[in-house]
Structure 1
């Protein structure tokens, strides 16, 4: 049975404020899909008679199958913060694959998806319109997820051990905040740097350096949520930056605003 799983705020900026405008649910995949799929997510909203709402989302190293009217496709990892305009009444279902988990379905470098989304018909035995009709017409969220699984299940590839390795690497990056360089990964996992970079380009679609930076900056945003009056110089050093200006530049490129702007917006929304 598919169960609802906890939803951390990581990745969705100012989630507490946003959930006054929409509902976000995450569902664990069935056992046979769990090797490849991280979770299913569903966003629903009803802003009838209200102003549209712009929700900011920071990137993650995962491919997502996004099912929504006229925009259904497989999307690669974004390189920076993106914004989604919520208006009227609607619902979107997403299938978030584990880092590296989508590669076995297509057997081509996932980095290609960063520029162009992939049509669902090139992977699944269904066109986008049929998929939207079958899933978004369901009123029960669990049924939506079950229908999505039925379309994916016939195309499940063989398990690829590289996926396990990639997720072990990313878990270590998340857990060990002092892992701030690609060399640290190479040492921890006895990997050649060029081999590691090629593996991430092929399976994840982004570089290991980018993944390290992403999670460190998400850590920074999370720290600011808890402690708005932070010492920027100390925080940048803790994240592995040699100078504060470099940290601020990367934070703005990924999160979409400077640390001070982020704190001001966070304070204003509470």
Structure 2
């Protein structure tokens, strides 16, 4: 189902503006692959005769494998926001691994991918250019999903119980607005603080603190985009912040502007 602007996922900044420029659709993986992969996604745009559009994203704590003409690769979690220029007509096919789900393929600390990328060849020993051309030339989204499912199922590693443990914990952090500190996440788990930090470095690629911060800021940006924020302090409290200034510092450090400046951009 095509997403309308209000249904674009958290992390797509200025979603109301972006929803006018591109479409985003997501597809569930098969059961076996779903142990490692959260979903597939396809972005399509047609800006022929229009000015290019730069879409900014605040990344989730996930590794993404992306097929884009001339720019395919495997991308770790970005330190802050990242922007992608859309021009002409095109599409991108992506694979969003679960938090922790890429490690069994990579077999190295996922923190080594933080803020950077690696080639598909390095991980899967395949000719990226040939696979990129094959997938992107397929006639529709489902055909791309089916082709990559076939590719991946031939290369599935053994299931690692830490993947399920980590992905479930990250989902709980995302859902619970009261999780603002690492100690709050520890209370949700059966891990010690040190164990959690070690597993997040190895499997997720960023710290528990970073995961918590990102999800709270996703919610804040979504509320601003929807135009429903009338009181900054009230929103801060609703998101679990006890100190409004702490919220502003977090927002500025990751998004790059203050919440007020972000709202002004949205209204332009």
What's the TM-score, normalizing by structure 2?
Answer: 0.92
Instruction: Tell me how far apart the structure 2 counterparts of residues 8 and 20 of structure 1 sit (CA, whole Å).
Output: 11
Does the aligned pair in 2 maintain the 1:66–1:72 contact within 8 Å?
A: yes
Q: How does 1:54-203 map to 2 (within 5 A)?
A: 54-203=54-203
Q: How does 1:20-39 map to 2 (within 5 A)?
A: 20-39=20-39
Give how far 1:232 is off. Answer: 2.1
Structure 2 unmatched runs, 5+:
none
Instruction: Tell me how far apart the structure 2 counterparts of residues 8 and 88 of structure 1 sit (CA, whole Å).
Output: 21
Partner of 2:266: 266
Give how far 1:97 is off. Answer: 0.3
- Determine if the alignment matches structure 1 residue 243 to structure 2 residue 243: yes
When the two chains are superposed, the root-mean-square deviation of aligned CA atoms in Å is 1.8
Instruction: Tell me how far apart the structure 2 counterparts of residues 230 and 203 of structure 1 sit (CA, whole Å).
Output: 39
Give how far 1:245 is off. Answer: 2.8
Q: Secondary structure, in 3 states, of the residue corresponding to 2:154? A: helix
Does the aligned pair in 1 maintain the 2:223–2:229 contact within 8 Å?
A: no
1:27-79 Cα distance to aligned partner (Å, 9 max, x none): 11122211101111111112122110011111110000011122111100112
Instruction: Tell me how far apart the structure 2 counterparts of residues 258 and 191 of structure 1 sit (CA, whole Å).
Output: 35
Does the aligned pair in 1 maintain the 2:43–2:92 contact within 8 Å?
A: yes
Does the aligned pair in 1 maintain the 2:63–2:99 contact within 8 Å?
A: yes
Q: Secondary structure, in 3 states, of the residue corresponding to 2:56? A: strand
Q: Secondary structure, in 3 states, of the residue corresponding to 1:38? A: strand
Give how far 1:140 is off. Answer: 1.2
Partner of 1:216: 216
Does the aligned pair in 2 maintain the 1:5–1:27 contact within 8 Å?
A: no
Instruction: Tell me how far apart the structure 2 counterparts of residues 116 and 229 of structure 1 sit (CA, whole Å).
Output: 34
Partner of 2:255: 255
Instruction: Tell me how far apart the structure 1 counterparts of residues 139 and 16 of structure 2 sit (CA, whole Å).
Output: 25
Q: Secondary structure, in 3 states, of the residue corresponding to 2:166? A: helix
Does the aligned pair in 2 maintain the 1:125–1:151 contact within 8 Å?
A: no
Which stretch of structure 1 is more off in the superposition, 243-252 or 187-196?
Answer: 243-252
Give how far 1:246 is off. Answer: 2.8
Instruction: Tell me how far apart the structure 2 counterparts of residues 82 and 252 of structure 1 sit (CA, whole Å).
Output: 14
Structure 1 unmatched runs, 5+:
none
Which stretch of structure 1 is more off in the superposition, 141-150 or 195-204?
Answer: 141-150
Instruction: Tell me how far apart the structure 2 counterparts of residues 224 and 232 of structure 1 sit (CA, whole Å).
Output: 10
Instruction: Tell me how far apart the structure 2 counterparts of residues 212 and 108 of structure 1 sit (CA, whole Å).
Output: 23
What's the TM-score, normalizing by structure 1?
Answer: 0.91
Q: Secondary structure, in 3 states, of the residue corresponding to 2:83? A: strand
